[in-house]
Amino acid sequence: MTDANAFDLNTFLPYRLNAVAGRISRAFAERYREEFGISIPEWRVLVHLHQGGDVSVRDIEARVDMEKSKVSRAASRLEAAGYITKAVNDSDRRLLLLRLTPQGEALVARLLPVAIAYQEEMKAKLGPLVEGLEAGIAVLLDDGK
């Protein structure tokens, strides 16, 4: 009956998951802000454009775990900064056609190595535990379904 009294936030899985993710994200965001002046939403859009070619806001919303308004605003900032262009998709004029400019491509080329290095740091810290962590994440993200 003291079960409830014994509850400890520091062993509570949702809390711990949130705490790690927050720290990793903050560190990552800080590095990106300092070195490149961009935010995480902006970085996600850039990377998605880089891998996917021409893409609409809707595509990014679906694949990158962001609300459409967040995507829209990130895209506007990137356009203002000269990293992407927005054009109308002529086959469906509701859709935007987001595209990297040469400066955008150049930026991504500089961003990616930093991201990969950051991931490597994480993996190095984890050592053989990476696999377990990734397996757990995969289940929670329902990757299979």
Partner DNA sequence: AAATATTTATTGCACATGCAACAAAGTCAA
Partner DNA sequence: TTGACTTTGTTGCATGTGCAATAAATATTT
Residue 68 found at the interface with a second copy (CB under 8 A): no
> In whole angstroms, how close is the CB of 97 to DNA at the nearest point?
8
Residue 61 binds DNA, judged by CB under 7 A: yes
State which of residues 30, 53, 63, 106 lies at the interface with a second copy (CB under 8 A): 63
116 is in the binding site of which of a second copy, DNA, none (Cβ under 5 to 8 A by kind)?
a second copy
**Rounded-to-integer distance, Cα 121 and Cα 22, Å:** 17
Q: At what angle do helices 102-126 and 40-52 cross, to 10 degrees?
A: 110
Assess contact for 70 and 58: CB atoms under 8 A.
no
In angstroms, the CA 72 to CA 95 distance is 12
Instruction: Select the residue interacting with DNA from 18, 51, 76, 103 (CB under 7 A).
Output: 76
Contact call for residue 69 and a second copy (CB under 8 A): no
**Among 64, 95, 114, 115, which residue sits at the site for DNA (rule: CB under 7 A)?**
95
18 is a contact residue toward DNA (CB under 7 A):
no
Q: Please enumerate in sequence order all residues whose Cβ is within 8 A of that of 98, keeping only pairs 6 or more positions apart, or say none.
A: 45, 49, 54, 55, 56, 57, 60, 75, 84, 85, 86
106 binds, among a second copy, DNA, none (CB under 5 to 8 A by kind): none
Contact call for residue 117 and a second copy (CB under 8 A): no
Residue (of 105, 44, 52) closest to 73 by Cα position: 44
DSSP state of 3: T
Q: Which is nearer to DNA, 94 or 127 (CB)?
A: 94
Residues contributing to the site for DNA (CB under 7 A): 39-41, 56-58, 61, 66-76, 86, 92-96
